[in-house]
Structure 1
Amino acid sequence: MVWFKAGPLFEDSVKLASMYKEKLVSAAEAVSVISSNDNIVVPPGAAEPEVLMEALANRKSELKDVRIHQMLPLREASYLKPGMERHFRHVSWLTSSVVKRGVKEGRAGVMPGYLYEYPKFIQDMDVDVFMGTVSPMDEHGYFSFGVSVDYTIAAAGSAKKVILVVNPNMPRTMGYSFIHISQADMIVEDNTPLLEIPKPELTKIHTKIGDYVCELVDDGSTIQLGLGSLANATALCLSVKKGLGVHTHFITDTIVDLVECGAVTNRRKNIHQGKIICSSAVGSKRLYQFMNNNPLFEMHAVSYTNDPQIIARNHNMVAINSVDEIDLLGQCASEPIGPKLYSGTGEQVDFARGAMNAQNGKSIVVLQSTHKGRTKIVPMLESGSVVSLSRNDVDYVVTEYGIAKLRGKTYRQRAEALIAIAHPDHRDGLAEAAKKFGLTR
C-alpha cells in the first residue's frame, strides 16, 4: 500500500490556513482594540474597510478623540456625521466632497503636504491601528492591497496593530502591493462591493479642451491624469494617439478606455517599459476587474509614483491636471477659493514639477473658461486663496478657447496669453485689470 506523503507546499498551506483561522474575528471584536486618543490610519477610496468603520462608529459612547487619518473618502461614513466630532476626528490627507462640510465646520482637519511625502509622514507618526481592505490570501500567505497602495504599506509597517478586511471583490494587483498574513494581527471577512465613482460624461466643452490637449501630446508620450473629471474627460480625446505610456498616481476608467482602444501600449517607455505605473485606482467595477491579476499594472507607494525625481526620468512625460481658477500671473488654485480651507494640493504639484524636468516633458493645466457665468481666469486670486500651483510651476494652460504657453514668459506675455483663451465675454474686463495692475500697457 502506498501512503500519501504531504509535501512542503501542502504543509505550508495547512499552516497558513490554521494561522488565518486563528486570526479571524468579527468586526466588533477587531475594533475593540481601539482606545480613546488613538491614531487610526485607513486607505483611501475604495479600499476603505467599511465594515470596520461602521463597527467603530457603534462604539462612540466608549471613545473620545480618536483620530482617523485617510485620503479621499468616497462615502460619508457614520463617524463623519455631525455630532460625532467629540468621539472621532477625521484628518483628511486629500479631501473629497463628502468631508468638505466637516472641514468647513471645524469637525475635521486637513493635512497639507506633497503627496510623495505622505508615507514618511505616516512613518513619523505614532500609528496605533491600521485597518484596510485586501484581496483574498494566495497560496503563499500574501494579501494584496488591491486598488490602494498609496501610503498603506508604510502605515501597515508602522502600526502597533494591523487589521485586514478580506474582501473577494478587491482585485489582486501586481507590484509592491502585498502584505503577508504573519504581519496581520486580526482578520475580518466581508463581501461588500467596492465603492465606485461614475465615469465623467464628455461634453462639447470637454471635447474642445481635449482637442487642444491632443495637439500637445505626441505619440509615444508617457501621461499622467489627475483625478478631476475634467482632466479625465478631456483625455478621452487621446484615443487617436499611438504608443502612449502611463506613469500616474490615480488609475481611472479613462486609462482602461485608452488601453482597450490601443492608444496606451507602454512599449515606448524608457523606464518600466510595458508597465502602467500607479498607486491607486478610483472608478467602476469594470476598472477593478480589469486590474485583477493583470501584469500590465505595477503598483507602488506614492513615495515612488509621485516623487518628482522619479517622474522626471520618464522621457516625453506629460502631466494633465485640472484646476479651479488661475490668475493673470499663472497662479493656480485647486483647493479653496478664498480663505475657507477645506482641501489639500493632491498630486498635481508632484507631477507638474516632475514633468517639466523630464526630457521633452510638459505639464498641462486644463480648466473651463467659466463656471455659472463667472470667469475662471481672474485678474488675481481672491484674498486668502491657497496657491496650489505657483506661477513657476505652470507650463501650458488649456481652455475651450485655446492654449497658453506660460513657462519662459514674462508677466506681460502671460497675461496676454491667458486673456486670449478666456471667455470672450470677459476678455475686455481682464485686459482692463491687467493694465490697472501694470501687467500690460
Structure 2
Amino acid sequence: MSYKDKLISVEEALNLVKSNDMIVTGLGSAEAQLFMNKLHTIAHKVENVTVTNCLPMSNGEFLKAEYRKSFNVDGWFYSPVLRKAHLNGNVSFIPNHLHLAGIKRLNHVKPNIYVGSASMPDKHGYISLSLSNTYERRMIEEADIVILEINPNYPRTFGDVEIHYKDADYLVEADYEVPVLPDAVPSDKDMIIGKFIEENIKNGDCIQLGIGGIPNAVAASLKDKKDLGIHTEMMTSGMVELVKLGVITGKRKTLHKGKIVCTFALGNNELYEFLDDNPSVLVMDGNYVNDPYVIAENDNMVSINTTIEIDLTGQCCSESIGPTQFSGTGGQADTAIGAQKAKNGRSFIALYSTAMVKNKATGVKEEISKIVPMLKQGAVVSLSRNDVDFVVTEYGVAALRGTNIKERVERLIAIAHPKFREELRREAHEIGLIYDK
C-alpha cells in the first residue's frame, strides 16, 4: 500500500476499537494525543476496553468516572492524571522494572491495537518513533493493528526507533505540539544535595539522571566537569545544556563511545530541537538500555535517583505513599544495580530530610522526617536495602555499601534533620535495630 492509502482520520482510527480490546500507547510524549483525547467519543459503542500507558501526558476525557464501564487503564508509571483517575476504580498499576516492562506485559497479554506518535516519513519512507522506545517497538511487532500519529513537530531520532511506514497499518496526520515537561527549578535544598553529589562525580564518568528538582540541581552543578558520558533511561533538558557547554562529550565511554544513549526523552522544546536529526543520540530499546548488565558495561557509571522515604536499614520507597500508588518503580532498581556492577560505578539515592504533611487528626500540615525507623504500612519497596549505595540529603552523604544494620542506622541518622535525630535513635532502640552494650 502507498503512503496515501494508509492515511485515515482519527475518527476512522477510533472506529477500529472493539469491546474487550487491549490498546497500548506510547510513553510520555510518545502517547497518541489525538486518539487518546477523543477515545471517550466511542464510549457508547464499547465495553471493557483496556488502555495500557506509561507516564501519560494527555488528560483524556476517557479517564473520567462516567466512562469506567467502557474503559480500564493499566499503567506502568503514574502521572498526575492517573493518580487522580485511580480513585474511579478502573485504573490499576503494573508492577515492573522498566527494562522488563514490555517483555513481561507481552508474556501476559498481547495488544490488539498499538497507537502512538511518530515523526514524518523521510525520503526513504522511514518513520522515527521519535521520543520513546521503552517498549513501543516491541508492542508494534506484536499488535494486531498499528496506528501511528505522524507529526511534523516530532523530532526525527536515531537508534533502533526507525520503522518503515509500510510496517504501520494506518497513519493519522497530526499537527499538535510535542507535550513538554516544565523544568523543575531547583530549590536551595536541591542545590545543596546537587553539590554533595557533584563532589562524588569525576571527569569522564558516565551518568544517569532521573526526573525532578534534585536531578536538575545535579545537572546544574556539573558545569565544570569534563568529558562526561550519558547512558540513561530518560534524556532530559538539563543534559542538553551540558552538551552545549562541552561537559558531555562521551569521549571516555566504554560502551557507545561518543554517543548519548537513552530509551526515552521528555523535557522542553530545546531538548526536542536538539534531538531532531541528531545522530549523536541513540534512542534504543528499553530492555537493552536499562538492562543492569548493559549499564554495567559503562566503566565509571553513576546512577542518580530520588526516593520518597527511606527506613533506617536502607529500604527505599520511591513510588507510593503508604499503599497508595504515586508514580512507579521505573528504572530505579535497573540503574542503581547496573551502576554498582560497573567498574568504579556508584549509585546515589537523594531525598530531602523532611516533608510537610497534613496531620489527618488536626488537618494542619506538620514537618515529618523522611528518614524513618520503618516505612509506612503498605509502602512499596522500590529499591531493596541490599541494593542501596550512597544516600544523600541536604545534611550530607551516607555511604551504605557493605555496612551492617547498626552502621546504617548511625549513618542515616547523621544525615537526618537534626530535630529528628534523637527521636530516630530512640525508635531504633525500641524496635531492636540497635542495642546498648
Q: Tell me if both proteins adopt one fold, taking TM over 0.5 as the criterion.
A: yes
Determine helix, strand or coil for the equivalent of 1:94.
coil
User: Contact 1:122–1:151 at 8 Å: present in 2 too?
Assistant: no
Q: CA deviation at 1:231?
A: 2.2
Q: Partner of 1:46 in structure 2?
A: 29
Matches for 1:12-411 after TM superposition, within 5 Å: 19-124=2-107, 125-372=109-356, 373-411=367-405
Amino acid of the structure 2 residue aligned with 1:79: F
Determine helix, strand or coil for the equivalent of 1:163.
strand
Mapped to 1, the partners of 2:23 and 2:174 lie a distance apart of 20
User: Contact 1:93–1:344 at 8 Å: present in 2 too?
Assistant: yes
User: Contact 1:76–1:99 at 8 Å: present in 2 too?
Assistant: no
Amino acid of the structure 2 residue aligned with 1:249: E
Residue among 383, 401, 411 paired with 1:417: 411
Determine helix, strand or coil for the equivalent of 1:239.
coil
Determine helix, strand or coil for the equivalent of 1:170.
coil
User: Contact 1:110–1:343 at 8 Å: present in 2 too?
Assistant: no
Determine helix, strand or coil for the equivalent of 1:58.
helix
Unpaired runs of 5+ residues, structure 1, are 1-17
Unpaired runs of 5+ residues, structure 2, are 357-366
Mapped to 2, the partners of 1:197 and 1:81 lie a distance apart of 23
Mapped to 2, the partners of 1:342 and 1:225 lie a distance apart of 19
C-alpha deviations, 1:165-200, integer Å up to 9, x for none? 110011000110111111111111010001111111
Mapped to 2, the partners of 1:342 and 1:68 lie a distance apart of 19
Amino acid of the structure 1 residue aligned with 2:210: G
- Normalising by structure 2, report the TM-score: 0.95
Determine helix, strand or coil for the equivalent of 1:61.
helix
Amino acid of the structure 1 residue aligned with 2:91: A
Q: CA deviation at 1:81?
A: 1.8
The 1:122/1:379 distance shift into structure 2, 3 A limit, reads closer
Mapped to 2, the partners of 1:105 and 1:186 lie a distance apart of 32
Mapped to 2, the partners of 1:336 and 1:273 lie a distance apart of 37
Q: CA deviation at 1:337?
A: 2.2
Amino acid of the structure 1 residue aligned with 2:429: K
Q: CA deviation at 1:155?
A: 0.7
Amino acid of the structure 2 residue aligned with 1:430: L
C-alpha deviations, 1:95-132, integer Å up to 9, x for none? 11211122244220111111111231343322100111
Amino acid of the structure 1 residue aligned with 2:238: T
Mapped to 1, the partners of 2:417 and 2:41 lie a distance apart of 51
Amino acid of the structure 2 residue aligned with 1:209: I
User: Contact 1:325–1:332 at 8 Å: present in 2 too?
Assistant: yes
**Does residue 433 in structure 1 map to residue 427 in structure 2?**
yes
The 1:327/1:105 distance shift into structure 2, 3 A limit, reads farther
- Normalising by structure 1, report the TM-score: 0.94
Amino acid of the structure 2 residue aligned with 1:420: A
Amino acid of the structure 1 residue aligned with 2:227: G
Mapped to 1, the partners of 2:37 and 2:399 lie a distance apart of 49
The aligned length equals 424
Amino acid of the structure 1 residue aligned with 2:399: K
C-alpha deviations, 1:245-284, integer Å up to 9, x for none? 0000011101112111221111110110000000101111
Amino acid of the structure 2 residue aligned with 1:410: N
CA RMSD of aligned residues (A): 1.2
Determine helix, strand or coil for the equivalent of 2:39.
helix
User: Contact 1:28–1:56 at 8 Å: present in 2 too?
Assistant: no
Mapped to 1, the partners of 2:294 and 2:146 lie a distance apart of 30
Q: CA deviation at 1:234?
A: 2.9
Amino acid of the structure 2 residue aligned with 1:221: D
Determine helix, strand or coil for the equivalent of 2:74.
strand
Mapped to 2, the partners of 1:233 and 1:64 lie a distance apart of 46
Q: Partner of 1:10 in structure 2?
A: none
Q: CA deviation at 1:422?
A: 0.6
Mapped to 2, the partners of 1:310 and 1:82 lie a distance apart of 42
Q: CA deviation at 1:230?
A: 2.3
